[in-house]
Amino acid sequence: MRQTSIDQPVRRTPSRAALGLFVLVAALFTAGRALAQEFVPPVSADEESWVAVVTADDVYLRSGASKSYYHFGKVKQGDLVLVTGKKFKWARIAAVGPVFQDLFGLIKFKVDETGRLQMQPDGKTAILTGRTEVQAPNLASSDPLKGVWKAIDYLPAKTEIEIVETVQSDLEVFHKIRLPETAVAWISENYLRPATAAEIATWETSLAQARMTPAERNAAQAKANAAQKAVAEKVESVKATVEDAVTPPTKPAAPTTTAALPPKPKQGSPAETTIPAPVTAAITEANESLEAATEAIQNAVDDLDQYSDDELDDTMTMTSERPVVTPDSAGTAGSTTSHFDDSGYVTPVSTYADGYLPPISDAPAASTSNAASEKATPAGNATEAASTGEQFTIEENVTPVEIVPPAMTTTDGHFAEQPAHWDDVTTPPAASGGAPTAPANLNLQRPQLPPLDSEFTVQDLEKRFLLLQDEPTETAELAPLRSLYYALADREGHDTNVGRYALARVEQLRIWGDLQQRNQELRLLRSQFESTSRDVEAIRLAVSREGEYTAVGRLTSSTIYDGTELPRLLRIQDPTTGRTVAYIRPDASESIDLHTLIGQIIGVAGPKQYDGGLRLNLVDPVRIDVLSPGN
């Protein structure tokens, strides 16, 4: 559909859909500002649950309410699920019933965090020592343990878990566990319909069976089989008795002499209508046996149904303690019931499918994998694509690539070897091609980045939170700040006042990130008409040379990493949406002072490495090209 710039005169009546989108974004922007002041749970705790039927095959169970969240399971047409809430056009699904029976969750610890759980003598169960998040495996990746970041449940301390398998890498330990019933998944509403009364009854029976332990299930099945066998044997016995009673005796041989035959009984006489006594007794015994067998079967069925009667009335309430706080109440935070459906930091992507932006996308990507797009089709006729959304992975143990500085020319036009540091140069030469160079006294030694346990405080993070409120929503660095709040909660303990306060900020920033996504989508539409010719040419050039660069975008300063309590970093932003594509250290290049390139669109080639202290992916440049001048 043809679109026009919002700022240009409109020559025709705008479509209702366009006006609706603009009004929706404006409303979300207002709501986001309100959320920045007061934390509001995203889902009502008293929402009614209902049973739904899946209407298509290969429908993804996603870890969040968007195509950008990876999936950790599939359902097929006819499967029954329990819907416990709604977000946008996505249904929240409780992890109960047969479809979740073979799925698993992940509990991830660092190798040195040996005290996070206590293994039991059986070697299969463990007790959690603190509040722990359960993450969804990433089935969109070739390795489900790679790119795992989305929490689908939080388990309180002293919870007993069943460990299916343990996998250890150089840095982390992954425990595969049986998926808790308090976990959640998300399915597009396009693939669901309400269940009928008969389907609900089937759901209740299957749910009761799914909740049985293997021993209980085997015992109930054996009891039902024994009852059915007893019925079959009794019916055969009664049938034989009846046949013996009604079978006429063998006809005797014809007499050799004639004799007077007894007169035939008159029509309707007792001799013709009376049922023989043996037959009556056999029928009575058969009825009694059938009643007893039916009762035995019903008792066996009741053994299955009792789980439904006792447990289904207790509706699933997926809640976790979360304080409703203000910056001044960290020490006396109350609590409310809602469900955390997001983890701390999301490692986003460098590209995205169908123009659909990830909910939080303020940091550089570790890897990208764009599969076939997932298209919504009418219920009953839809099949989800094999894979959609982005791969959220962290590149570990990346071998650093040595920067080979470009050759430089002296005043006489001859090539000179690049010095190791600008401190060694009395008069800095001009870089090739007229690119800006650093002053002679600029020290380009890289600073030592602080580890995760650096002593930043909640007050330090609150200062940055307030600064973000003054920035445009679509360009605010939400994901890094959310990562820092989560790191603070880990450091202080999730059960402390400061930890609960930090987790509340994590959830608040997630909601704010949803608003950011929609603003970025609107900005993307507007930019198609408003981009300057220089920007368009720069973007066209970058696309034509996409394979040469790790990141392309406008270089800007970072509000979060401003060099005070945290190290100073620069951002590379998508010039169209404002989304952060990557982070780079100001001193990353020994040939160019990156501060002089702020505001310009650049292309950066070089490896991307994960920094565990900052929980960020940083580009280590081998080459930096200026693609357009700044504004």
User: What is the predicted pLDDT for the residue at 383?
Assistant: 37
Of 141-150, 337-346, 519-528, 584-593, the range with the lowest mean pLDDT is 337-346
> d(Cα 216, Cα 222) in Å, to the nearest integer?
10
Judging by beta carbons within 10 Å of its beta carbon (0-12, 13-18, 19+), is residue 426 exposed, middle or buried? exposed
> Considering the entire predicted model, what is its pTM?
0.34
Of 239-243, 301-305, 580-584, the range with the lowest mean pLDDT is 301-305
**In the predicted model, is pLDDT for residue 226 greater than 70?**
yes
The segment with the largest mean pLDDT, out of 30-34, 192-196, 204-208, 298-302, is: 192-196
pLDDT-derived band at 403, boundaries 50, 70, 90: very low
What's the number of CA atoms in the CB half-sphere (13 Å) around residue 497?
10
Would you say 323 and 488 are in contact if contact means Cβ atoms under 8 Å apart? Answer: no
Furthest CA-CA distance within the chain: 152
pLDDT-derived band at 544, boundaries 50, 70, 90: low
User: What is the predicted pLDDT for the residue at 168?
Assistant: 87
Least Cα distance to 221 among 306, 300, 308 occurs for 300
For residues 396-419, give the mean pLDDT.
Answer: 36
User: What is the predicted pLDDT for the residue at 217?
Assistant: 63
For residues 364-381, give the mean pLDDT.
Answer: 38
User: What is the predicted pLDDT for the residue at 82?
Assistant: 94
Least Cα distance to 338 among 28, 37, 40 occurs for 40
For residues 226-247, give the mean pLDDT.
Answer: 68
pLDDT-derived band at 618, boundaries 50, 70, 90: confident
> d(Cα 460, Cα 483) in Å, to the nearest integer?
14
List alpha helices for 531-625, DSSP H: 533-544
User: What is the predicted pLDDT for the residue at 137?
Assistant: 93
The better pLDDT of the pair 73, 498 is held by 73
The full 3-state SS of 71-88, as one line of letters, equals: EEEEECCCCEEEEEEEEC
For residue 466, CA distances in Å to 37, 111, 317, 470, 476 come to: 10, 35, 34, 7, 11
Of 109-113, 303-307, 457-461, 530-534, the range with the lowest mean pLDDT is 303-307
User: What is the predicted pLDDT for the residue at 147?
Assistant: 81
Tokens 């005169």, located at residue = 9
pLDDT-derived band at 189, boundaries 50, 70, 90: very high
pLDDT-derived band at 194, boundaries 50, 70, 90: very high
For residues 380-391, give the mean pLDDT.
Answer: 38
| C-alpha Rg value of the chain to the nearest Å | 35
> d(Cα 157, Cα 179) in Å, to the nearest integer?
17
**In the predicted model, is pLDDT for residue 303 greater than 50?**
no
The better pLDDT of the pair 278, 83 is held by 83
**In the predicted model, is pLDDT for residue 437 greater than 70?**
no
Of 67-71, 182-186, 226-230, the range with the lowest mean pLDDT is 226-230
Of 150-154, 379-383, 581-585, the range with the lowest mean pLDDT is 379-383
The full 3-state SS of 150-209, as one line of letters, equals: CEEEEECCCCEEEEEEEEECCCEEEEEEECCCCCEEEEEHHHEEECCHHHHHHHHHHHHH
User: What is the predicted pLDDT for the residue at 103?
Assistant: 92
Q: Are strands 132-135 and 184-188 parallel, antiparallel or unpaired?
A: unpaired
Q: Go through 498-514 and write b for each residue having 16 or more CB atoms within 10 A of its CB, e for each that does not.
A: bbbbbbbbbbbbbbbbb
User: What is the predicted pLDDT for the residue at 16?
Assistant: 53
Listed in order, strand segments (DSSP E) in 406-456 are 408-409, 415-416
Least Cα distance to 7 among 590, 526, 372, 568 occurs for 526
User: What is the predicted pLDDT for the residue at 155?
Assistant: 93
User: What is the predicted pLDDT for the residue at 156?
Assistant: 92
Would you say 92 and 184 are in contact if contact means Cβ atoms under 8 Å apart? Answer: yes
Q: 3-class SS at 584?
A: strand
User: What is the predicted pLDDT for the residue at 7?
Assistant: 44
pLDDT digits (tens, 9 = 90+) for 106-142: 998 888 887 888 989 988 899 998 899 999 999 988 8
The better pLDDT of the pair 620, 514 is held by 620
**In the predicted model, is pLDDT for residue 176 greater than 80?**
yes
> d(Cα 444, Cα 22) in Å, to the nearest integer?
46
Would you say 607 and 550 are in contact if contact means Cβ atoms under 8 Å apart? Answer: yes
**In the predicted model, is pLDDT for residue 153 greater than 90?**
yes
> d(Cα 525, Cα 229) in Å, to the nearest integer?
69
Least Cα distance to 106 among 209, 55, 180, 49 occurs for 180
pLDDT digits (tens, 9 = 90+) for 91-100: 999 999 889 9
**In the predicted model, is pLDDT for residue 332 greater than 90?**
no
pLDDT-derived band at 546, boundaries 50, 70, 90: low
Tokens standing for residue 393: 């992975």
pLDDT digits (tens, 9 = 90+) for 21-78: 554 545 544 444 443 333 333 334 445 789 999 999 999 999 999 888 999 999 999 9
List alpha helices for 247-370, DSSP H: 270-273, 277-311
**In the predicted model, is pLDDT for residue 476 greater than 60?**
yes
> d(Cα 478, Cα 458) in Å, to the nearest integer?
16
Would you say 323 and 504 are in contact if contact means Cβ atoms under 8 Å apart? Answer: yes
> d(Cα 362, Cα 354) in Å, to the nearest integer?
19
**In the predicted model, is pLDDT for residue 583 greater than 70?**
yes
| Neighbour order of strands in the sheet with 125-128 | 117-119, 125-128, 160-168, 172-178, 104-110, 132-135, 151-155
Would you say 501 and 488 are in contact if contact means Cβ atoms under 8 Å apart? Answer: no
pLDDT-derived band at 339, boundaries 50, 70, 90: very low
The better pLDDT of the pair 427, 469 is held by 469
pLDDT-derived band at 214, boundaries 50, 70, 90: low
The phi, psi pair for 198, rounded to 5°, reads: -65, -40
For residues 264-270, give the mean pLDDT.
Answer: 46
**In the predicted model, is pLDDT for residue 404 greater than 60?**
no
What's the number of CA atoms in the CB half-sphere (13 Å) around residue 525?
17
Sequence-ordered list of residues with C-beta below 8 angstroms from that of 365, at least 6 positions apart, any chain: 347, 348, 349, 350, 351, 390, 581, 582, 608, 617
> d(Cα 544, Cα 518) in Å, to the nearest integer?
28
